[in-house]
Structure 1
Amino acid sequence: MIGKVITGKSFGGCVRYVVQKPEAAVLDADGIRTDAITAMVADFNLQRRLNPDLEKAVGHIALSWSIHDREKLNAQVMVDRAKEYLEKMQIRNTQYLIVLHRDREHPHLHIVYNRVNYEGKTISDRFQHRRNARVCRELTLKHGYYLAPGKGQVNRQRLKGADKAKYVLHDTIKQALHHAKSWQELESMLHGKDITIDYKHKRGTDQVQGVSFCQGELSFKGSSIDRSLSYGAISRQLEQNQQQALLLSPTSKPHKGIAQAGFSAPVISTSRDLARHDNTGILESLLAPATGQATDSANMNDYHFKKKKRKKKRRIHL
Structure 2
Amino acid sequence: MIAKISSTENLGGALRYNFKKVEKGEASILLAAELYQSKEGRYTMEDVLADMEALIPKNCRTKKTVFHCSLNPHPDEKLSDETLMQIAKEYMETLGYGNQPYIVFKHNDIAREHIHIVSLRVDGEGKKINDRFEKRRSKQITDTLERKYDLIPSSKVSNKEEVETPKVDMGKGNIKEQVASIVRTVLKHYRFCSLGELNVVLSKYNLAVEEVKMEFRGKKYDGLVYVPTDDKGGKVSTPIHASDIGHGVGYTAVQNRMQKSKQAIKPLIPAIRNKVLQTMRTSPKTEEELQQRLEEQGLRVVIRKNEGGRIYGITFIDDKEGIALNGSRLGKGYAANVFNGYFSNPTHNPFLDETQYGSLSARLDQSATVHPSQLNTEESDNLVDELIEDMADGSFLSTGNDDWKEAAWQRKLRKLSKVNIRRRKH
Question: Under a length normalisation based on structure 2, what TM-score does the superposition of the two structures give?
Answer: 0.38
Shifted more, 27-36 versus 90-99: the winner is: 27-36
* 3-state secondary structure, aligned to 1:48: coil
Aligned letter for 1:90? G
Q: Cα gap change, 1:45/1:153 in structure 2, threshold over 3 Å: closer, same or farther?
A: same
Q: What is the rounded CA distance, in whole Å, between the counterparts of 1:194 and 1:136 in structure 2?
A: 35
Q: What is the rounded CA distance, in whole Å, between the counterparts of 1:113 and 1:29 in structure 2?
A: 10
| Deviation (angstroms), 1:58 | 0.3
Match of 2:69 in 1: 61
Match of 2:134 in 1: 128
Q: 2:70–2:116: 8 Å Cα contact kept in structure 1?
A: yes
Aligned letter for 2:68? H
Match of 2:30 in 1: 27
Structure 1 stretches of 5 or more lacking a match? 155-166, 181-188, 197-212, 217-318
Matches within 5 A, 1:263-274: none
Q: Deviations over 1:74-123 (max 9, x none)?
A: 11110100011112212232110111110121120100011112443211
Question: Under a length normalisation based on structure 1, what TM-score does the superposition of the two structures give?
Answer: 0.50
Q: What is the rounded CA distance, in whole Å, between the counterparts of 2:34 and 2:139 in structure 1?
A: 27
Q: Cα gap change, 1:48/1:138 in structure 2, threshold over 3 Å: closer, same or farther?
A: same
Match of 2:110 among 96, 104, 121: 104
Match of 2:158 among 144, 151, 161: 151
Q: Cα gap change, 1:51/1:132 in structure 2, threshold over 3 Å: closer, same or farther?
A: farther
| Deviation (angstroms), 1:26 | 1.0
Aligned letter for 1:28? L
Quick check: 1:41 aligned with 2:49?
yes
| Deviation (angstroms), 1:50 | 5.9
Match of 2:7 in 1: 7
Larger Rg: 1
Q: Percent identity?
A: 27
Q: What is the rounded CA distance, in whole Å, between the counterparts of 1:57 and 1:195 in structure 2?
A: 38
Q: What is the rounded CA distance, in whole Å, between the counterparts of 2:170 and 2:151 in structure 1?
A: 30
Match of 2:95 in 1: 89
Matches within 5 A, 1:123-272: 123-148=129-154, 149-151=156-158, 153-154=160-161, 171-174=166-169, 177=172, 179=174, 193-196=227-230, 213-215=231-233
Quick check: 1:74 aligned with 2:75?
no
| Deviation (angstroms), 1:61 | 0.5
In terms of fraction of residues, the more helix-rich structure is 2
Q: Cα gap change, 1:58/1:90 in structure 2, threshold over 3 Å: closer, same or farther?
A: same
Q: Cα gap change, 1:190/1:28 in structure 2, threshold over 3 Å: closer, same or farther?
A: closer
Q: Cα gap change, 1:95/1:50 in structure 2, threshold over 3 Å: closer, same or farther?
A: farther
Q: Cα gap change, 1:150/1:89 in structure 2, threshold over 3 Å: closer, same or farther?
A: same
* 3-state secondary structure, aligned to 2:227: coil
Aligned letter for 1:8? T
